[in-house]
Amino acid sequence: MNIFNTLTRKKERFVALQDNHVRMYVCGVTVYDDCHVGHARSAVVFDVLSRYLQHKGYAVTYVRNFTDVDDKILKKALEEKVVWTEIVATYIDAYYRDMNRLRVRIPDVEPRATQHMPEIIDMIAGLIQKGFAYQVENDVYYDVSAYEAYGRLSGRKKDEMLAGARVEVDVRKKDPMDFALWKGAKAGEPGWESPWGLGRPGWHIECSVMSIKHLGEIFDIHGGGKDLVFPHHENEMAQSCAYTGQEFSRYWVHNGFVTIDEEKMSKSLGNFFTIQEIFQKSPWKKDEQGKEDDVTAEVLRYFLLSTHYRSDLNFSDKALSEAKSALDNIYSLFERLEESGQEDQIENSRLLEKALAEFSQQFEQVMDDDLNTPKALAEFQRFRGEINKWLASGGLTSEAKTQALESFRQFGVPLGLFQLSSKDWSFSRTFDESVTFGAIANVSPSSVVDSNWIEQQIENRLQARKRKDFATADKIRQDLASQGITLEDRPDGTTRWKR
RNA sequence: GGCGCCGUACCCAAGUGGCUAAGGGAGCAGUCUGCAAAACUGCGAUUCAGCGGUUCGAACCCGCUCGGCGCCUCCA
């Protein structure tokens, strides 16, 4: 497959370092707050990358870290007046909760900075020894002037960046671009024993240490959001290459932002939605059995994959409901494919086989092209259209239907889509257009009109229809409609309602 | 100030040198239905922000202009 490499700024043919084994490292999160949709995107994108590599037959070793000691965590602990480790525990739990709901697979290794202190200290000591780092009081800095390739990943030159640097420069640093490898502990801060006194690692060093430890000095893929390109990944690469004297990651993969009104979703702008609140406010919630999140997760994943991973993606209620509508079509096809077929429709069934071969070939081709998930979804939709036409013109054999359904499920696996039962999906149709993820806080739509009363009205209407008293039946429908409730009569005689 | 990305139908979004410019949403029409809803079918850009250039040929390459965004500071 081909993948866009930030390092070379072009699509490159992906060749694994070792036969069919792919080693990938993705920067996870700093656990000091709930994750928002931007984090969800990154998680889903790399989830799909790892799934697709597996689909292609690679064995994948996927490492994703937790940054579990850092300034933001300590700040949060002070604000909340709790021990910093409690902040870490709380948000790691929250992270797992969100990732599970999004059906993001758990990586093979999830290392934490605090569990790698001896290795971190070793690497820093090694960098000092090789002349790439220097100590100032209780801090250690990486010396960018000792590493001439600095700026290679992000495509910038040290001098050019200086012009616009808006940061207050620590005068003790040799070069303003030098960054901390080790930070001496100030009073009240946690610290680990080191040759430079009590302290904690700088942000970038942990990823170098943990990727090298778990994947080796050279590995295949290093990923993250595009905001990590500079300075995080630039620094990681500089210190790793300086330390090992070799290449570090061979392919650097970065996903685009999630935006709100075309502006980057971020904590500082305050324009973010947490994954948790998306699920809580979801209009597609079901009330029973803990399955309530499946539909929302499916919608969110479809939405996140409907734009190419390197482009920015604008988040809105409208975009989510469009994803829901697109999925409705797929799942309603599933319902029809689950019904028994017409055994004499051999010709259509033969055409289906041909279309299926073409679909699977197209799917791989577009996914091979830098993980073109929007096009992959378009291929699914196109295939759906073809099947519908055969279904409308005579039908398909039961065998063909089963085969078609299984293809959707099989090729849905790399995307983490199309795995729900059509039944679970169809009973989720409770979309309420008045629900706005941002505006409506804790108003449950069902609190407006009592559902028991609605059920009673539906029963009354059913009786009226049985007597062929359509005037009464229609009046009941209209009354409900005036309160924003739509009724839907099913072929099996039951009536479904939605607000 | 430096570096970079983007601008495709009413909306979202693929396509990045040559077959009819994918797909989804919305809309409209039809099928189905007691009526509806849902679903299904059909319709929909002579045109790709604007201008100029390269080329036998450009939405795709080059230049300029306009508009939007990002990184250079913690950030997925």
Res. A291 pLDDT band, cuts 50 70 90: low
Task: Tell me how far apart the alpha carbons of residues A134 and A124 are, in angstroms, rounded to a whole number.
Answer: 9
Is a pLDDT exceeding 90 seen at residue A428?
no
| Mean pLDDT, residues A256-278 taken together | 93
Residue among A87, A222, A231, A219 nearest A152 (CA): A231
Residue among A139, A119, A114 nearest A199 (CA): A139
Residue A211: the pLDDT is 97
Task: Give me the numbers of helices (H) and strands (E) for chain A, helices first please.
Answer: 16, 15
Is a pLDDT exceeding 60 seen at residue A257?
yes
pLDDT per position as a tens digit, A161-174: 765 555 566 778 88
Residue A156: the pLDDT is 86
Query: Which nucleotides of strand B lie within 7 A of protein CB?
Result: 1-6, 11-15, 22-26, 33-42, 68-76
A340 CB less than 7 Å from any atom of strand B = no
Count CB atoms within 10 A of the CB of residue A413.
14
Task: Tell me how far apart the alpha carbons of residues A234 and A428 are, in angstroms, rounded to a whole number.
Answer: 45
Residue A435: the pLDDT is 43
Considering only CA atoms, which residue is closest to the C1' of nucleotide B15? A375
Is a pLDDT exceeding 70 seen at residue A367?
yes
A158 CB less than 7 Å from any atom of strand B = no
Residue A422: the pLDDT is 87
Residue A497: the pLDDT is 79
Residue among A49, A372, A47 nearest A220 (CA): A49
Q: So what's the ipTM on this one?
A: 0.96
Q: Cβ within 7 Å of strand B: which of A 388-417?
A: 388-389, 391-392
Is a pLDDT exceeding 90 seen at residue A184?
yes
Task: Tell me how far apart the alpha carbons of residues A398 and A345 are, in angstroms, rounded to a whole number.
Answer: 9
Task: Tell me how far apart the alpha carbons of residues A226 and A261 are, in angstroms, rounded to a whole number.
Answer: 19
* Signed CA dihedral, A359, A360, A365, A368: sign only: positive
pLDDT per position as a tens digit, A121-149: 999 999 999 999 999 999 999 999 999 89
pLDDT per position as a tens digit, A377-427: 999 999 999 999 999 888 899 999 999 999 999 999 999 999 999 888 876
CA A283 to mean position of chain CA atoms = 20
Is a pLDDT exceeding 80 seen at residue A45?
yes
Residue A165: the pLDDT is 54
Q: Are A101 and A293 in contact (CB under 8 A)?
A: yes
Is a pLDDT exceeding 80 seen at residue A74?
yes
| Mean pLDDT, residues A329-349 taken together | 89
Residue A162: the pLDDT is 63
Is a pLDDT exceeding 90 seen at residue A205?
yes
A202 CB less than 7 Å from any atom of strand B = no
Q: Are A270 and A259 in contact (CB under 8 A)?
A: no
